[in-house]
Amino acid sequence: MAEEKRQEESSALSRREFLAATGGALLAAEVLTAQAEITTENVTFKSGDVSIGGFLCRPKQDGKFPGVIVIHENRGITDYIADVTKQLAQAGYASLAVNLCSRKLGPDAAGGTEQAMAALRELTTEDAVKDLGAGVDYLKKQPFVRAEKIGCVGFCYGGRMSLLLACHRKDISACVVFYGRPADAFPLIPNLNAAVLANYGEVDGAIPVAVVKELEETLKKNGKTCDIKIYPGAGHAFHRPGGNNYKEDAAKDAWARTLGWFEKYLRG
């Protein structure tokens, strides 16, 4: 059930007008300056006996929308992740950022803290996949969601979890990865149903180009739909505005690719 509800309004652009106006990119401080009307709320749902928090955004108008699970970095739900979730709603999706700090810190746990990072270090992969799956189930039950059209997108730690979630859930139609370590997903790729888009940096010290190419080869060898791009000169976390590695041209292009991918595989 919803615990707290907030509404945000601005100029009522259509989804396509919004995408054209923003270039399909996350524009840091400008992200909310020209947007469709959306509704946002903090929600709580169950993963087994555990209460999990989430930040849910959707277009304000009536109708059913494809759903997208947003998976945060190793910092929890920060303002950056909240902005990503809002922008997906502005683009016409019901988007849910799942708070994976919930098991250790409660469903209202704030992101961007040392406590949040410690909680995520202690969270097992099994529990993370379980809690994200509970988010998928919650999203699919909402009356404004097209339950047969669910996608996921994640960043850094969340990029890894985005691919793992898609490997565990046949009901994920489109998966987007931003510089997530892929190695532990390799054995699970035969189970994958989703079309996979992945964005990596050429000079990411944590994820060598050879590993990214291995991911692409493994996906193709297993007959999976995929589009992998390595951005020249980009490092890890190149999409996060204000971060040390933020690279504007790569960030804008990768986000435009993300919206295009969801447009193709969640609206078809």
In a 3-state reduction of DSSP, which class is residue 140?
helix
Look up the pTM and report it: 0.89
Instruction: Give mean pLDDT in consecutive 10-residue pieces for the chain, a chain of 268 residues.
Output: 33 40 39 68 98 98 97 98 98 98 98 98 98 98 98 98 98 98 97 98 97 98 98 98 97 98 94
Query: Which residue shows structure tokens 């992740």?
Result: 81
* Nearest to 83, CA basis, from 231, 245, 242, 257: 242
The C-alpha atoms of residue 197 and residue 119 are separated, in whole angstroms, by 28
In a 3-state reduction of DSSP, which class is residue 214?
helix
The C-alpha atoms of residue 68 and residue 242 are separated, in whole angstroms, by 24
* Nearest to 75, CA basis, from 185, 209, 237: 237
- From residue 13, give the alpha-carbon distance in Å to each of 17, 21, 26, 154, 264: 6, 9, 17, 26, 21
In a 3-state reduction of DSSP, which class is residue 70?
strand
- Terminal C-alpha separation, the chain: 30
The C-alpha atoms of residue 258 and residue 165 are separated, in whole angstroms, by 17
Domains of the chain: 2-266 (3.40.50.1820)
- Exposure string (b/e) for 43-64, b if CB count within 10 Å is 16 or more? bbbebeeeebbbbbbbbeeeee
| pLDDT at residue 35 in the model | 54
Bridging pattern class, strands 145-155 and 94-99: unpaired
| pLDDT at residue 268 in the model | 75
- Exposure string (b/e) for 176-198, b if CB count within 10 Å is 16 or more? bbbbbbbeebbeebeebebbbbb
Contact 151, 69 (CB under 8 A): yes
